[in-house]
Amino acid sequence: MDIVRENRLRPAAVLITHGHIDHAWSVAPLTHDFGIPAFIHADDRDRLADLAGSTIAANRDALLAMTKGELELTEPEDVRLITDDEVLDLAGLKMRVRHAPGHTQGSVVFERLGDAEMPPIMFAGDLLFAGSIGRTDLDGGDMVAMQRSLERIVLTADDTMVVLPGHGQQTTIGQERATNPFLQPNSPHFPARTGL
């Protein structure tokens, strides 16, 4: 909120890559305070109704204590469902939705469509990290689905695409294709060529 105020920004929407609490717990106050919608894939919509219940060992009291009582775990008022390959036009930015199940059933990435001046950007959520991928051992996780998503979304992307993961440092598709152990052909987790 301080960054928004200091830079005189006016948020247009909240884009949710998946419904885990660490990615969605501040959605309700942001959408409420700015009168904006939240966008999430239908397969993760139910997670917004019970954020604490959709996370490992989540304890509501402990989570509220982390925010010094300033953040209540409530559901956003205006939730809009998104679908694979939908293009959102928000504040003059075009964002393509790519359904990327594996970390959760409704995981997505958002790709800012590039132009001649700027490379495309992938807001990867927990699909892809610098040097790793998202966990598949949590509720809703599925390694086979993750492999398909990596094949369909990551391995087909241009090497120049900038990746802003949900955790950790920025990277590029080219860097990850060259060094990420989960994307190496000799890895047991390497996506099999299925023609997706």
Give the pLDDT confidence of 11-70 residue by residue, as tens digits.
999 999 999 888 888 888 889 889 999 999 999 999 988 776 655 444 566 666 666 666
Question: Would residue 196 count as lying in a domain?
Answer: no
138-162 mean pLDDT: 94
Q: How far is CA 110 from the centre of its chain?
A: 7
CATH of the domain at 177: 3.60.15.10
Question: Would residue 19 count as lying in a domain?
Answer: yes
Question: Would residue 195 count as lying in a domain?
Answer: no
Question: Would residue 193 count as lying in a domain?
Answer: no
pLDDT at 196 over 60: no
Question: Would residue 103 count as lying in a domain?
Answer: yes
Alpha carbon distance, N-terminus to C-terminus of the chain? 41
Question: Would residue 188 count as lying in a domain?
Answer: no
State pLDDT tens for residues 94-143. 999 999 999 999 999 999 987 778 889 999 999 999 999 999 998 889 99
DSSP, res 86: -
158-174 mean pLDDT: 96
Domain range for 91: 2-183
Question: Would residue 15 count as lying in a domain?
Answer: yes
> Phi-psi bin for 69: left (phi > 0), alpha (psi -120 to 50), beta?
left
Q: How many structural domains comprise the chain?
A: 1
**pLDDT, position 56:** 46
Question: In 3-state terms, what secondary structure has residue 79?
Answer: strand
State pLDDT tens for residues 60-85. 666 666 666 666 667 888 999 999 99
Q: How far apart are CA 116 and CA 98, in angstroms?
A: 22
Q: How far apart are CA 29 and CA 157, in angstroms?
A: 34
The H-assigned helical ranges of 35-138 are 60-66
Q: How far is CA 73 from the centre of its chain?
A: 19
DSSP, res 114: P
Q: What is the pTM of this model?
A: 0.87
**pLDDT, position 67:** 64
Question: Would residue 190 count as lying in a domain?
Answer: no
